[in-house]
Amino acid sequence: MFVDRLVESIKSKKNPSVVGLDPRIEGIPGYMLEKAYREFGKNLKGVSMAVYWFNCGLIDGLRDIIPAVKPQMAFYECLGVDGIDVFHKTVKYARDKGLLVICDGKRNDIGSTANAYSKAFLGMADLGENEKTPVFDVDALTISPYLGYDGIKPFIEDCRSYGKGIFILDKTSNKSSGDFQDLCTYNGKSIYEIVAEKINEWGESLMGQCGYSSIGAVVGATYPNQAKILRRIMRNSYILVPGYGAQGGNGDDVVPSFNSDGLGAVVNASRSIIFAYKNSIYADKYDEADYVCAAREEALKMRDDINRALEKKFG
Amino acid sequence: MFVDRLVESIKSKKNPSVVGLDPRIEGIPGYMLEKAYREFGKNLKGVSMAVYWFNCGLIDGLRDIIPAVKPQMAFYECLGVDGIDVFHKTVKYARDKGLLVICDGKRNDIGSTANAYSKAFLGMADLGENEKTPVFDVDALTISPYLGYDGIKPFIEDCRSYGKGIFILDKTSNKSSGDFQDLCTYNGKSIYEIVAEKINEWGESLMGQCGYSSIGAVVGATYPNQAKILRRIMRNSYILVPGYGAQGGNGDDVVPSFNSDGLGAVVNASRSIIFAYKNSIYADKYDEADYVCAAREEALKMRDDINRALEKKFG
């Protein structure tokens, strides 16, 4: 079951943080882009191959210290078919190296269509006459809840059948997340609280041996006060916490998403880690060819920051 | 501007309905699948190529009577990289044949990531040093609103720059759509009404010469009473209406989404058209090799059903 594998990896690496593989072209080292342009042309294929090399470097350099990577689909989709190919290759590469892969796709649709998305990421595609094949085959996927339960159910079923997980958007990390998520309903609860109650309820059917569910939630590091409330509502949900680092969240901000056992949440940072070599604090130490070393140093700093904050709070 | 091209095409074809290209393997004619298996293998490539032939047949057979097609991303994603390749080829084929393409992706993410999705479908991807290239380059994309305005803004900007359109999910056609969309807020408005007010407001910045906005909404045919309310709130938004046909909606159900000018909405049907040859009413008339003829007959029936209902209501 996904959540047991996640918790085991978090415990063995003593690290509740994951790294977002969100490769923006402006962050890829110039030498890497130029080599890819020379070999594949200055086109989507060229950029995609540079992304793949960039990702492989990060995976090799971080695999022993992080439990999972979180590739963001948008950054692969915007490179077209070649980008999707590199997304798929990245997933395989990361899993082969022992990392869990949480795909940040925020997919959502009505029942039968949600089922097709679920097949793409978690389950198996139909080849006719009862032959099936895995497709992208990630370990977990993020899901948007706006369409309600029948759009979530197919994913839950595949989580059960294939040992996968989902993280359902609840209170997202962005500035405008309150536009609809914070709306207060007639009974005094906000939308994010009602979504959380549903996530908690749906999660009960898929509890792992670790005491947490493979049906998790997304709660941004940028909203620690809401996280406190949500942690209480979703006692057994694993919470994926984006918004650490470039978006402004720090170790103390993510603590409310954890339980007193020091578990229950996994924190993501993307830009601040993978493009750390561009950070002025590393300017004298690393150049672009050392991007993996800079990422590793920053990832260790993040791990220690979160563990220190957890230690302070829970002892 | 997208909405002007859509209205022009709806008027010239006297047809406010579009066909969803949602190719499920169980609906693809057997002879087509077998040919693709022989040529490409019984794998995702084989199924994808059968999907492509199936789509091209439909596009050729329907192009003179419908204004647009609506491919559903989930059915291409669940065929992996080959499926995305065939999605891209289908988009090109349909646009070359003069059809508008509304991609049903329901994409959503926070600002900078939404920007990457927008580049993928509506705008241009960055190749470095100010070189850009279109990626999937559809005419319009469906969007999920859960993350609020900063997740919508990048799409609106690309709509403006590249003459594209978006349809934002408001009240979806599925049974569970009420789980969150129908929740009543403290001021007595439901979430779908508040989302509609925002869609209306955002749409004002992108009005076409036809009097409608390129920022549209999705309202299911299965909820005609809610559609009446939403039509009043979003007076100038073009409304994409799924749920006709296989999901249960008929001509009378979609009328509330239109304005008295007979415009303002475009109705989608997928399964009932593209797999019409499997419908028992056509069993004596068409076999699987005639799937395009069956689809055409059903598409004309749908057009006439909607036009008759509009005529009855608005004269």
* Residue B83, pLDDT score: 98
Which contiguous run of DSSP H or E holds residue A71? strand A68-71
Sequence-separated (6 or more) residues with CB below 8 Å from residue B123: B134, B158, B161, B162, B164
Cβ contacts of A296-300, under 8 Å, gap ≥ 24: A296/A61, A296/A62, A296/A65, A298/A272, A298/A273, A299/A17, A299/A19, A299/A62, A299/A65, A299/A66, A299/A269, A299/A273, A300/A65
Q: Closest partner residue to B110 among A46, A119, A172, by Cβ?
A: A172
Residues of chain A in contact with residue B79, where contact means CB-CB under 8 angstroms, are: 120, 125, 135
For B172-211, letters b (16+ CB in 10 Å) and e give bbbebbbbbbebebeeebbbbbbbbebbbebbeebbbebe
| pLDDT higher than threshold 90 for residue A249 | no
* Residue B315, pLDDT score: 83
Do A192 and A225 form a contact (C-beta atoms < 8 A)? Answer: no
Q: Please report, rounded to a whole number, the percentage of residues in chain A having pLDDT higher than 70.
A: 100
* Residue B246, pLDDT score: 79
* Residue A283, pLDDT score: 86
Residue A245: band (very low, low, confident or very high) from pLDDT cuts 50, 70, 90: confident
Tokens coding B113: 């990531």
Active-site positions of A read 106
Q: Tell me how far CA of residue B80 lies from CA of A290, B41, B77, in angstroms.
A: 33, 15, 5
HSE toward the beta carbon, residue A228, CA cutoff 13 A: 4
Q: Closest partner residue to B117 among A44, A74, A185, by Cβ?
A: A74
| Amino acid letter for position B143 | I
* Residue A247, pLDDT score: 79
Do B156 and B205 form a contact (C-beta atoms < 8 A)? Answer: yes
**ipTM of this predicted complex?**
0.97
pLDDT digits (tens, 9 = 90+) for A120-145: 999 999 998 889 999 999 999 999 99
Domain A2-314 is of which CATH architecture? Answer: Alpha-Beta Barrel (3.20)
Nearest CA in chain B to A73: B117
**Among residues A19, A18, A32, A21, which one has the least CA distance to residue A290?**
A32
What secondary structure does DSSP assign to B102-159, as a single string? EEEEEE---HHHHHHHHHHHTSEEEEETTEEEESS--SEEEE--TT-GGGTHHHHHHH
Q: Tell me how far CA of residue B247 lies from CA of A29, A265, B221, B242, in angstroms.
A: 50, 39, 9, 8
CA distance A102 to chain B (A): 15
pTM for this structure? 0.98
Task: Say whether B180 and A169 touch across the interface (CB within 8 A).
Answer: no
Going by the DSSP 8-state scheme, the letter that residue A207 receives in this structure is B
Show pLDDT as tens, one digit a residue, over chain B (315 residues).
999 999 999 999 999 999 999 999 999 999 999 999 999 999 999 999 999 999 999 999 999 999 999 999 999 999 999 999 999 999 999 999 999 999 999 999 999 999 999 999 999 999 988 899 999 999 999 999 999 999 999 999 999 999 999 999 999 999 999 999 999 999 999 999 999 999 999 999 999 999 999 999 999 999 999 999 999 999 999 999 998 987 788 999 999 999 999 999 999 999 999 999 999 999 899 999 999 999 999 999 999 999 999 999 998
Where do we find the tokens 């949602």?
B22
Q: Closest partner residue to B119 among A37, A78, A184, by Cβ?
A: A78
* Residue A315, pLDDT score: 83
Euclidean distance between CA atoms B223 and B174, whole angstroms = 9
Euclidean distance between CA atoms A57 and A50, whole angstroms = 11
* Residue B234, pLDDT score: 98
Q: How confident is the model over A13-26, as a mean pLDDT?
A: 97
3-state secondary structure of B312: helix
Active-site positions of B read 106
Euclidean distance between CA atoms A303 and A210, whole angstroms = 21
A172 backbone dihedrals φ, ψ, rounded to 5°: -85, 165
Helix locations, chain B, DSSP H: 2-13, 30-40, 44-62, 73-77, 80-96, 111-121, 153-162, 178-181, 191-203, 224-233, 251-254, 271-274, 291-314
Euclidean distance between CA atoms A5 and A277, whole angstroms = 31
Q: Closest partner residue to B176 among A44, A47, A150, by Cβ?
A: A150
Per domain, the residue ranges of chain A are 2-314
* Residue A246, pLDDT score: 79
* Residue B99, pLDDT score: 98
Residues of chain B in contact with residue A174, where contact means CB-CB under 8 angstroms, are: 110-111, 147-148, 150-151
Q: Tell me how far CA of residue A287 lies from CA of A19, A283, A284, in angstroms.
A: 21, 7, 8
CA distance A267 to chain B (A): 17
Euclidean distance between CA atoms A222 and B110, whole angstroms = 13
Q: Tell me how far CA of residue A112 lies from CA of A118, B87, B151, B239, in angstroms.
A: 10, 19, 26, 22
CA distance A196 to chain B (A): 11
* Residue B245, pLDDT score: 86
Do B196 and B170 form a contact (C-beta atoms < 8 A)? Answer: yes
Residues of chain B in contact with residue A107, where contact means CB-CB under 8 angstroms, are: 74, 106
CA distance A239 to chain B (A): 17
Residues of chain A in contact with residue B85, where contact means CB-CB under 8 angstroms, are: 81
Euclidean distance between CA atoms A253 and A244, whole angstroms = 8
